[in-house]
Amino acid sequence: MGHKVESNDDELLQVAVAIGSVMLVCMVMALAVKQYEGRVTPHLTVSYPKEDAGTLGGMPVIPTDASGPILGFSFQPEYFSPDNDGVNDELIISLTATDESPIVSWSLEIREPQAPYPVFYRIEGTGNPPARTTWNGRSAKGELVQSAMDYPFTFRAEDDKGNVSTLDSKIGVDVLVIPSEDGLKIQVPSIIFRAEEADFIGLPRETVENNNRVLRRIAEILNKFRDYRVRIEGHANRTELSDTEATTEEESELQPLSERRARAVINRLVEFGVSRSRMSAVGMGGTKPIVVYTDRDNVWKNRRVEFILIK
């Protein structure tokens, strides 16, 4: 009658395989089970021939933080107006990033409100983000935000495990009243008209609602300046490069269209309570661009309505 003999090598091999299997399971669990974030010390119980069951402890501590930081972003006022009138001139921003692991870096990137959405303003740092920071509404180049526009932003933070979280939303800018050569000026590129027309017919409901919201706000501001006459200028964006073609386009298309749009704005402002006798309409076409034609990322700013308040 024979007897089975197990060598020490066989026993060690069994133990090694068991340890490897359990360590693999621990690693998978650490990545998959988010609610158990923290630090755990695994212990391994192994059964093998000739000996009683034993416990192997003191294995390396395995980090289980596999998710990005929890981000918080808030700001006030809801619509800020950096026009140096002493009211809501600065945006107060609060940033938070909470995580099991230390935060190593963060950034806040504010982009232009129109495609291709280039970066307008950016701040960044190491460690935890500041609980409070302010923004004066200007880009790194000193350019001021546009009236009545929503500026998209991305808040990003990374912990020391390489986990990254991002938060996306928008910052709303109020109607700005700024000094000009003629007096005070409101410059708004956010009133959207039907292509080649001077009305809102057929536009998406959200666009029409935003147009009316902006015009109601402008009417409210104009009625605070009742002693001022208001010249409403329509400005267009030329599409032709050569001087000859641009002149033809200006005379036959842009100037008449921009004047019709200025008159349409007057009609809507009258509905919102502004006296028609205070207002006049002028079609400027593409004669006064604020951005050069070749700057394709920002050329949309030329297509605007300006309200000149004259004492």
* Whether residue 297 sits in one domain with residue 195: yes
Secondary structure (H, E, C), 33-61 = CHHHCCEECCCEEECCCCCCCEEECCCCC
Question: What local confidence, expressed as pLDDT, does residue 239 receive?
Answer: 72
Question: What local confidence, expressed as pLDDT, does residue 59 receive?
Answer: 56
* Whether residue 56 sits in one domain with residue 98: no
Residue 228 lies in a domain: yes
Q: What is the CATH number of the domain that holds 215?
A: 3.30.1330.60
* Whether residue 193 sits in one domain with residue 279: yes
* Whether residue 163 sits in one domain with residue 150: yes
Counted domains in the chain: 3
* Whether residue 186 sits in one domain with residue 96: no
* Whether residue 198 sits in one domain with residue 298: yes
Residue 1 lies in a domain: no
The answer for residues whose C-beta is within 8 angstroms of residue 282's C-beta and 6 or more apart is 231, 232, 233, 234, 259, 262
Question: What local confidence, expressed as pLDDT, does residue 34 receive?
Answer: 43
Rounded CA-CA distance 187/89 in Å is 17
Alpha carbon 250 to its chain's center:
35
Range of the domain at 121: 70-173
* Whether residue 236 sits in one domain with residue 293: yes
- Partners of 283 in beta bridges: 234
Which among 173, 201, 224 is the end of a domain? 173
Percent of the chain surpassing pLDDT 90: 65
Question: What local confidence, expressed as pLDDT, does residue 32 receive?
Answer: 46
Question: What local confidence, expressed as pLDDT, does residue 53 receive?
Answer: 43
Residue 132 lies in a domain: yes
Question: What local confidence, expressed as pLDDT, does residue 250 receive?
Answer: 75
Question: What local confidence, expressed as pLDDT, does residue 242 receive?
Answer: 61
* Whether residue 139 sits in one domain with residue 49: no
Low-confidence ranges of the chain (pLDDT < 50): 1-7, 15, 28, 30-56
* Whether residue 277 sits in one domain with residue 183: yes
Question: What local confidence, expressed as pLDDT, does residue 19 receive?
Answer: 58
* Whether residue 48 sits in one domain with residue 101: no
Which among 173, 191, 218 is the end of a domain? 173
The pTM for the full model equals: 0.75
Residue 25 lies in a domain: yes
Which among 17, 38, 63 is the end of a domain? 63
Residue 2 lies in a domain: no
Question: What local confidence, expressed as pLDDT, does residue 294 receive?
Answer: 83
Nearest to 125 by CA among 141, 109, 140: 109
* Whether residue 78 sits in one domain with residue 59: no
Contact 99, 70 (CB under 8 A): yes
* Whether residue 152 sits in one domain with residue 79: yes
Residue 270 lies in a domain: yes
